[in-house]
Chain A
Amino acid sequence: MANPTTTPGYRVVVTGLGAVSSAGIGADAFTATVRAGTPTTSRITSFDTTGFLTHQGGEVHGFEAADWVRRIDVEQWGRSSQFAAVAGRLAVQDAGLDDFDFGQARAGSCMGTTSGESAVIEALVEDWVEGSLKDLQPDSISKFPAGRIANAVNSELGFTGEAQTIATACSASNYALGYAYDLVNSGEADYMICGGADSLNRWAHAGFYRLGALAEDVCRPFDENRAGIITAEGGVALLLERYDDAVARGARIYAEVLGYSVNCDAKHLVHPDSGSIAECIRDAHRHAGVSPDQIDYVCAHGTGTPTNDSTETAAIREVFGEAPPPISSLKSIIGHTMGAASGFGALICCKALYEGFLPPTATLQTPDPKLGDGLDFVPGTARPAAPKIVQNHGFAFGGNNAITVLGRVS
């Protein structure tokens, strides 16, 4: 079979955006916070951090799914599924399709996640610790499957098509966007919601700490003093449809999905590999039919760990040479939302293309000289700009790299 190249088929566009995050609920609230460069990580309250040495998280405080959904009974769904359902509902509203009967169309969802219904699993673990495994509660058990994240979107929106939950950890939303793009591009689906969801949990907080990958107070991607990630949560959704349909109904078109690539390091479960990432970037460009000089902005994975940021910038240099396009990391604002992270990246790319700005690396103080010269991390607040084509990075444990390419539709 052929190497991936520019794929003929339907043009696929993003016409609706939904966000549930520490930086706000709704794509507009989220974008305003990002543009202002205001970090929104805070002290974790969703679990007891007593005894931990780090207490910061990107928590969605006071989240009440029932305030946002129309159809689902929120009591039947775990926190990650609720994030997904609300993000999906917001995306459909944003697209002006809130009253559209999706049951008459081929509509589905594809959602990414790292830890699935981790908050539900932790409730079950508390049952276990306080008593024994005999005490696992049935209402938590029914909420446990990670596959319910996409199911929640379909249930909330009345979708009758595919409900695919992709669990490729922290690049999963980009996988989801890629797969959803394929289904619409090839005519398998008319509408797809794609994105991701994850919940804050004790075990990831502990695990990242023990890997030496957790920052104590602030996530500072690309900074000389960066110390790691801030664990975070949220849900994000993009509505994809055919360009022709969007134009016919007079929809606002944020961006066109131009292509994507996924590959695997196949070397180590937790250490990223710059050569493999560079290859993924090149494949994504080839698939999207663009060249490196056409890329106006890179929405980085940018976790703020010493290893990720040096590996990622090395890969970018390998493809773009000595003067890469501006690069920034949303994790400076919302922390690491895990399986939702590259979905938030895709969302802000859409907004950047549509509204005309570059998202900032909000917390950057001193760019790490070891990353080399000629790198523009858009420090502080958003910068007015007119990007035409951008790329969005997502990397993960397991060596799962995924890169999407989005373009402005004029």
Chain B
Amino acid sequence: MSAATLARQVSTTVTTPLAITACGVVSPAGFGAQTLAAALAATSAPSHYETEQAYPTAEHITTEDLPPREMRAAPPLPLEELLGRKGLRQLDRTTALGLTACALALGELAEPLEEQLRFRTGAIVGTNGSVRSSSEYSRETLIQTRPYLVNPSLFPNTVMNCAAGQIAIRNSFRGVNATLAGGALAGIQAFRYARNALARGYAEQLVVGAVEEFSPQAAWGWHNSSALQADSPVGEGSAMFLLEGPDTTRPVLAHVLASEVAYAGGARVSLIDTLTSVIRSALSRSGIDASTVTDVALGATGQIGLETIEIQAVKAALGDAVVQLLQPKLVTGETFSAGAALQLAALLGTWDLSGDVGDERVGLVTAISPDGNVGCVVVRSAAYFEGKSHVSAG
């Protein structure tokens, strides 16, 4: 059998729905998916970023000079309350945000996670690590009287898997533990990685999500890159989801159907066409018709060039379907690695707020990168519309 024949065969395989059974969110809007969704509903889209709401600026995070652009930070994190007092001093902000979102998600469960399953529970975290931790560590080697006079206890913070490792330690998660550095696609890639791990029986349940911290380094990086529109803020946040097989006994917030990715940079094919075909392929592998999609949470909001490409691809893939376009970055600002996870959180929060009992909603989370990475996740609303709300109001 030739490769091409086989490729055609597998691309029609419909994926098993996976269940999201908890959701923890921290963003400039505050805590919880509903809070993010409510803030998003209050923006005056399509005029970008205008809102009555005042978001925290970065003054509680840094005293560095910041670029002449709006900064949106998450509010102070209730770390002691969520994590206890021990070991908080060494946590960098990436790890603290990730631990907070994870604790908020697990805190929603009616019953705590089963102790005997923790050795088969894992964490899949999308992050580029803490650029502040690594760059400040590197800076010490240049400005200290001796280059090796760095703080050894902060060294693990410079490694990108620190947040995932801390989530494992604090929750005794001894199963699959992975850190994925996919930038704008990191959240989508985390769900792909998680789907594989669950489907192949490597883990029983997984905390899946992504995190991005605000830092002066990132703020200046974005500002000097010329990648963002002038009014696009630099933000931060984290969203973590508990993901399980379809046979879970817990109440289900939503089902994750297919997550597909592709790369347009190598073959130099059009980004629009590649994203369009990835969306079509993901819908097909979800067993979903394009006409049934109700909501799309976009990722490239505020990014020069990419924002238009993403919207055009979504329109090309969905045809005449009437969909609600959500742009969570109007609230969170640019959140790089956390983007897709926060998009999913905004989608779930929006569904929860709308409370249309009985209406099935199908959502799409899309992402695109300047190199040519494109991807999407398809989600479907679940039983929670039949009554009580499970998405945390924070």
Chain A positions within 8 Å of B, measured between CB atoms, are 1-5, 7, 50-53, 71, 103-106, 108, 113-116, 118, 121-122, 124-126, 128-129, 132-134, 136-138, 141-142, 144-149, 151, 154-169, 175, 179, 182-183, 186-188, 190-191, 201-211, 244-245, 261-270, 276, 396-400
Q: Does chain A have a CB within 8 A of B1?
A: yes
Q: Which of A136, A268, A276 has the most CB of B within 10 A?
A: A136
Chain B residues in the interface with A (C-beta under 8 A): 1, 3-4, 6-7, 9-10, 13, 64-65, 67, 122-123, 127-129, 131, 134-135, 137-143, 146-152, 155-156, 158-162, 164-166, 168-169, 171-183, 185-186, 189, 192-193, 196, 198-204, 216-217, 220-221, 224-226, 245, 261-267, 269, 274, 369-373
- B-side contacts of A3, CB under 8 Å: 201
Bound CA–CA A264/B202 (angstroms): 12
CA distance A186 to B267 in the complex (A): 24
> Do residues B156 and A264 form an inter-chain contact, with CB atoms below 8 A?
no
A269 and B166 contact, CB distance less than 8 A: yes
- Compute how far the CA of A115 lies from the CA of B129 in the bound complex, rounded to whole angstroms: 9
Asked if A211 contacts B4 (CB within 8 A), the reply is no
Residue among A125, A156, A157, A267 with the most chain B CB within 10 A? A125
Contact assessment for A245 and B3 in the assembled complex, using a CB-CB cutoff below 8 Å: yes
Docked pose: A162 CA to B172 CA in angstroms: 31
In the bound complex, do residue A145 and residue B181 qualify as a contact, i.e. CB atoms below 8 Å apart? yes
Residues from chain A with Cβ under 8 Å of B166 in the complex:
269
Contacts of B216 in A (CB 8 A): 133
Do residues B176 and A262 form an inter-chain contact, with CB atoms below 8 A? yes
Q: Is the CB of B159 within 8 A of A397?
A: yes
B168–A399 touching, CB < 8 Å:
yes
* Contacting residues, chain B, for A267 (C-beta < 8 A): 169
- Extra inter-chain contacts (18) besides given A154-B265, A168-B177, A191-B3, CB under 8 Å: A4-B202, A115-B160, A118-B134, A124-B221, A133-B217, A144-B221, A149-B181, A162-B189, A165-B182, A166-B178, A167-B127, A190-B6, A202-B142, A203-B134, A209-B148, A264-B168, A397-B161, A398-B177
Nearest B residue to A261, CB-CB: B202
CB neighbours of A206 from chain B (8 A): 137, 140-141, 147-150
Given the known A-B contacts A165-B182, A397-B156, are A116 and B128 also in contact in the complex, defined by CB atoms under 8 Å?
Answer: yes
Contact: B373 with A163, CB < 8 Å?
yes
Residues of A contacting B161 in the complex (Cβ-Cβ under 8 angstroms): 167-169, 396-398, 400
User: Is the Cβ of B134 less than 8 Å from the Cβ of A115?
Assistant: yes
| A121 lies within 8 A of B183 (CB) | no
